[in-house]
Amino acid sequence: MSAAAPAAALATGRTRGREGSALARRVRRAVVSVVVFVLLWELGSRLKWPWVGDAPPPSAVLKVWLPLLTDPGYWYSWYQSSRRVLTGFLFAQLIGIPLGLAMATNRVFNDLTFPVFEVLRPIPPLAWVPAAIIFWPTQESSIAFVTFLGAFFVVVINVLGGAKSIDVRYFQSAYSMGATKWDVFRRIILPATLPSIFVGAAVGMGITWEVVVAAEMISGGGGAIQSSAGGGLGFFIWNSYIGFSYPQIVVGMISIGIAGYISSSIIRAVGVVCTPWLRTR
């Protein structure tokens, strides 16, 4: 062994130590800030500060939450919402990714569909809720449709943008070396678009959670549809609001936050696995 090896090991050890202390500092500060935030919230809620005074204090939230953890109804709401999110999300990917790729690769198809797409895109997904309820036979399918719409436009736009930003020289050199159209699609377009597909999926996942919550609240709280049709966390929140159990509203909000965070983490993890060439950067 040469003398350079231990020196290098020492150096990396030292930088790792420095990084470690930076991480420790960050964790310490994060804990401090979240604790201070919760304390301020508790204090503000108890001392009736403006606005915060009307929100339930964290202690009351915790007191309501703990018994709920063993309540099967609460977990059924989790299941219901997750199922709806997943349905809408998967349909958005299944339809959106091929559509985006087709628009990016076929000029005629792009000219034909993109203007219509652009006209429909600015309409917020939730504005579709009543129309969806009228059109689809069951409440479940209309919620799924609105959830699908929420992710669909983001997915298509991201795939399209990713495919269009590919350098033309890649295509030119591939074709000049005898690549077929399929080769170009499989070896250039698909890998180049994959990162933006995952960006679109992550953003789309966030929007689907938003949409599901609102759709559940509107269809549950609108009064037109029978409320017994199916729980879900959005309906859980709305029901707590109707029943004046305000701490339970916050429980619902935090639960959705956790659920949303878990789902985007999963997508990020899958994205890292599927695009290994981006990891070195």
Partner 1 sequence: MDLIVQSLAGESVREHVIALLRSTAPFAALSDKLLGRIAVIATLERVPRGEVIYQVGDPAKDLYVVASGQVRHALGPGAQATVLVKVVGRGDVIGWAALLKDRSRRLAKTTALEESELLKIRGDQLMEVLGDDPVAAQEVLERCAKMIIEDFTVPAWLAQVQVLPTGKAAAGTRAGGASNIRGLALFMHRISKWLQGPTPYLMVVGFALFFGAWYLLSEVFHLWRFASIPGPHQVLIEWLNPNPVYGLSVYSSEYYIHIWSSIRRILIGFTIATAVGVPVGLFLGWSRTFREYVFPVFETLRPIPVLAWVPLAIVMFKSGAETPVIFLATLASFYATALNTMLGVESIDEAYPRAAACLGASKWQIFRHVVIPGALPYIFTGLQISVGVAWFSLVAAEMVSGEYGLGYVINTSYVNVRYPTIVIGMITLGIVGYVTSALVRMAGDYMMQWRVRELALGGRE
Asked if 82 touches partner 1 (CB under 8 A), the answer is: no
Single-letter amino acid code for the residue at 68? L
51: left (phi over 0), alpha (psi -120 to 50) or beta: left
- C-alpha distance across the termini of the chain, in Å: 31
Binding positions for partner 1, 157-176, rule CB under 8 A: 164-165, 167-168
Residue 81 contacts partner 1 per CB under 8 A: no
Among 14, 18, 25, 63, binds partner 1 (CB under 8 A): 25
Site for partner 1 in 220-239 (CB under 8 A): 221-224, 233-234, 237-238
Q: Kindly tell me which of 10 and 33 has the beta carbon lying closer to partner 1.
A: 33
Cβ–Cβ under 8 Å, residues 256 and 205: no
CB-based contacts of 77, cutoff 8 Å, min separation 6: 231, 232, 233, 235, 236, 255
Nearer to partner 1, 8 or 38 (CB): 38
Q: How many CB atoms lie within 10 A of CB 17?
A: 10
Q: Does position 272 bind partner 1 by CB under 8 A?
A: no
> CA 267, CA 262: separation in Å to the nearest integer?
9
Judged by CB under 8 A, the residue of 10, 24, 112, 274 near partner 1 is: 112
Site map (CB under 8 A) of partner 1, residues 181-220, x = contact: -------------------------x--xxx-xx--xx--
In the chain, DSSP assigns E strands to none
How far is 217 from 233, CA to CA, in rounded Å? 9
Q: Locate tokens 């609108």: which residue? A: 222
Q: Which is nearer to partner 1, 11 or 30 (CB)?
A: 30
Q: How far is CA 44 from the centre of its chain?
A: 31
Q: In terms of C-beta distances under 8 Å and separation of at least 24 residues, what long-range contacts does 53-58 make, across chains too?
A: 55/246, 55/250, 56/246, 56/247, 56/249, 56/250
Q: What share of the chain is helix, strand, coil (3-state, %, to 5)?
A: 85, 0, 15
d(CA 244, CA 198): 40
Q: Does 32 bind partner 1 (CB under 8 A)?
A: yes
Return the range that interacts with partner 1 (CB under 8 A); candidates 1-9, 64-72, 108-116, 179-187.
Answer: 108-116
Q: Rounded to whole angstroms, how far apart are CA atoms 216 and 126?
A: 11
Structure tokens at 168: 């033309």
Q: Interaction with partner 1 in 118-137: which residues (CB under 8 A)?
A: 119-120, 122-131, 133-137
Q: Which is nearer to partner 1, 8 or 242 (CB)?
A: 242
88 part of the interface to partner 1, by CB under 8 A: no
- Residues from 48 through 77 that contact partner 1 (CB under 8 A): 51-52, 54-55
Select the span of 11-19, 68-76, 111-119, 189-197 touching partner 1 (CB under 8 A): 111-119
Number of shown-chain residues binding partner 1 (CB under 8 A): 71
Of residues 13 and 53, the one with the C-beta less far from partner 1: 53
Q: Does 104 bind partner 1 (CB under 8 A)?
A: no
Minimum Å gap between C-beta 186 and partner 1 is 21
Nearer to partner 1 among residue 97 and residue 103 (C-beta) = 103
